[in-house]
Amino acid sequence: MNREFAGNAVLIVVLNLVVKSFYLFGIDRTVQNLLPEGEYGLYFTLFNFAFIFQIISDFGLQNFNARNLSQSRHLLQKYFPHLLTIKLLLGGVFTVVTVVLGYFWGFQSPAVWTLLLAICVNQFLQTLVLFLRSNLAGLGLYRLDSWASVLDKSLLVVIAGVLLWGGSWQAHFTIFWFVLAQTAAYLITIILLLSYLYPRLGQLRLRWRKAQVQSLLRQSAPYALVVFLMTAYTRLDAIMIEKMLPNGAIEADRYASAFRLLDASNIAGYLLAGLLLPMFARQLKTGVNIVPLTRLAISTMWTGAFSLAISVIWFATPIMTSLYTNGDSYSGQILQWLMLTFIPMSGGYVYGTLLTANASLRPMNWVFVAGIMINVLLNLWLIPRYGALGAAQATFVTQTLTFIAQLALAKHLLQLPMALDLLFRLVFLGLLLCGLGYYFSNHLLSVPLFVKFSACICAGILGAFALRLLDVKSWWSWLRPS
């Protein structure tokens, strides 16, 4: 299983870093820079508002399907028609609920309300893509799932790229064009995934058996609650910024520009978590020792997180000014706090996924309920005083506390051993990177930013191998052909 994780981890991370990073910084960033200040901030607010309720359209079906199908792969033909029926119905409920709540929240102008409706449709299509991919992961088709993970964004890069750079269209580009480009990319992806799965389904048709549907909803409901609670405390910030501040759309715009780098950083963690879920579930089902895979996952995850986060923190302001027309030291400070958040978030991808695979959902839900309460209270206190910077600080505190709680739960429920040697090596790596970052940023003033930033990250990776956080022999034994 370690070989399987290592090989597919490299593939999925490389693919997504290339494609999704180009999308975020080539397409998404260009859209923000092209539009008037505050317009992308409004889109970002609406996107996060809809994202909170997106769980209605998923209802935990993705995690439930990946976990159960990986343990009993013969159930594909039995479950798929019912799950697809539920998925389509829930998508309609999600759209109606979100646009109605959005109207009462204050998104009442026709243009804003229409934009929210279009965003809802896209988010439903995105969850449908993830549901179809969960069937690939559940069937053990990890390599194919890795390729499928970049399909929608690859299509979006092509479609939006034509609109942005394909002639005179750029002068007339609007945020609504961007949303419609996403719709087209998701629809094409869904058609291609359904075409691949069709021969394995026997006969693809929608089925509605009340008893079966109720049973599936009851089983997936705990997963839905976990995802909803996780989403709520990570997406409330932008909504509260826009609502609480007189210049809320502009502050949300600044927050969005820094959040994009956190979003890009999370690509690897999110994808590796999706890869880990069926693997953890299968190991727990068969009684295989989960410690080696857990240790491999957390050391890999944190090597990247420490190296990237600390490197970005030292060069935050020049990064923001080079990326955005409105970048400044204020947005650099927001980025510093958000990148600090990346470290506990990446740890949560491992231990939260392990707890999900173990079906330890009730205690996880209590952790996330507490996280939401802490996040709301901190935002109410910090946003009026510090604006978007206060929201970033609230995010860091919330993510750190929830990660500590997940780690403690995993150790208690699964009897995981203490790994003090791993902790000490990580602390040493962090100190090494802080020292290098200080030297590079304060003494090598004539060296280009890209060179210093890249050198800092490379030093982190090399330091991880030197400290045996990443073991060359083990990775080679897992990656080389059998």
Query: How large is the average pLDDT for residues 420-428?
Result: 84
Residues 402-414 have a mean pLDDT of 90
For residues 16 and 26, the model is more confident at 26
More confident residue, 145 or 353: 353
Measured distance CA(464)–CA(475) in Å, rounded: 13
Task: Please provide the distance, in angstroms rounded to a whole number, between the alpha carbons at the two ends of the chain.
Answer: 13
Across 78-87, 428-437, 449-458, the highest mean pLDDT is recorded for: 428-437
Two tokens at 283? 């190991």
- Checking if the pLDDT of 373 tops 70, the result is yes
Mean pLDDT is lowest, of 8-17, 134-143, 247-256, 459-468, for 8-17
Is the pLDDT at 169 greater than 70, yes or no?
no
pLDDT reading at 233 higher than 80: no
Band (130; pLDDT cuts 50, 70, 90): confident
CA–centroid distance for 417 within its chain = 28
Cβ 153 vs Cβ 18: under 8 Å? no
**Mean local confidence (pLDDT), 461-474:** 76
Query: Average pLDDT, whole number, for the chain?
Result: 81
The band of 5, judged by pLDDT with boundaries at 50, 70 and 90, is low
CB burial of residue 397 (10 Å; 0-12, 13-18, 19+): middle
Q: Which residue has the tokens 């994202």?
A: 51
Residues 6+ apart with CB under 8 A from 286: none
The percentage of the chain sitting over the pLDDT mark of 90, rounded to a whole number, equals 18
Q: What angle do CA 165, 169, 171 make, to 5 degrees?
A: 100
Enumerate the domain spans of the chain. 2-417
Q: Are 211 and 47 in contact (CB under 8 A)?
A: no
200 against 56, higher pLDDT: 56
Higher pLDDT, 401 or 289: 401
Which residue has 């705990």 as its token pair?
A: 222
Distance (Å, whole) CA 333 – CA 88: 42
Tell me which of 202 and 28 has the higher pLDDT. Answer: 28
Residue type for position 466: A
CA dist., res. 348 & res. 122, Å (int): 27
pLDDT digits (tens, 9 = 90+) for 146-161: 777 788 889 999 998 8
State yes or no: pLDDT of 181 exceeds 90.
Answer: yes
Instruction: Give the confidence band of 203 by pLDDT, cuts at 50, 70, 90.
Output: low
Mean pLDDT of 375-400: 93
The three-state secondary structure class of 28 is helix
Which phi-psi region, left, alpha or beta, contains residue 35 (left: φ > 0; alpha: ψ -120 to 50)? beta
Average pLDDT of span 320-343: 90
Is a pLDDT exceeding 70 seen at residue 372?
Answer: yes
Looking at 57-61, 212-216, 301-305, which range is the least confident one?
212-216
What does the pLDDT read at residue 363? 87
* CA 443 – CA 435 distance, rounded (Å): 12
Reported pTM: 0.74
* Angle of the 39-53 helix axis to the 76-105 helix axis, nearest 10: 130
Q: What is the mean pLDDT of residues 112-137?
A: 88
In this structure, which amino acid lies at residue 363? P
Lowest mean pLDDT, pick from 5-14, 97-106, 240-249: 5-14
Q: Judge contact between 343 and 306, C-beta under 8 A.
A: yes
pLDDT value, residue 187: 94
Q: Answer with the residue of higher pLDDT: 388 or 420.
A: 388
The predicted structure's pLDDT at residue 420: 79
pLDDT confidence band for 20 (50 / 70 / 90): confident
CA atoms within 13 A on the CB side of 246: 1
Reported as a pLDDT band with limits 50, 70 and 90, residue 10 is low
Give the 3-state DSSP-derived string for 204-261, with helices as H, strands as E and coil as C. Answer: CCCCCCHHHHHHHHHHHHHHHHHHHHHHHHHHHHHHHHHHHCCCHHHHHHHHHHHHHH
For residue 340, the model assigns a pLDDT of 93
Q: How far apart are CA 60 and CA 261, in angstroms?
A: 27
162 vs 169: CA distance, rounded Å: 9
pLDDT at 171: 64
Q: Give the length of the chain.
A: 482
Q: Contact at 8 Å (CB) between 231 and 56?
A: no
How far apart are the C-alpha atoms of 215 and 172, rounded to whole Å?
50
Instruction: State the residue for tokens 């869904």.
Output: 190
If one compares 164 and 381, the residue with the highest pLDDT of the two is: 381
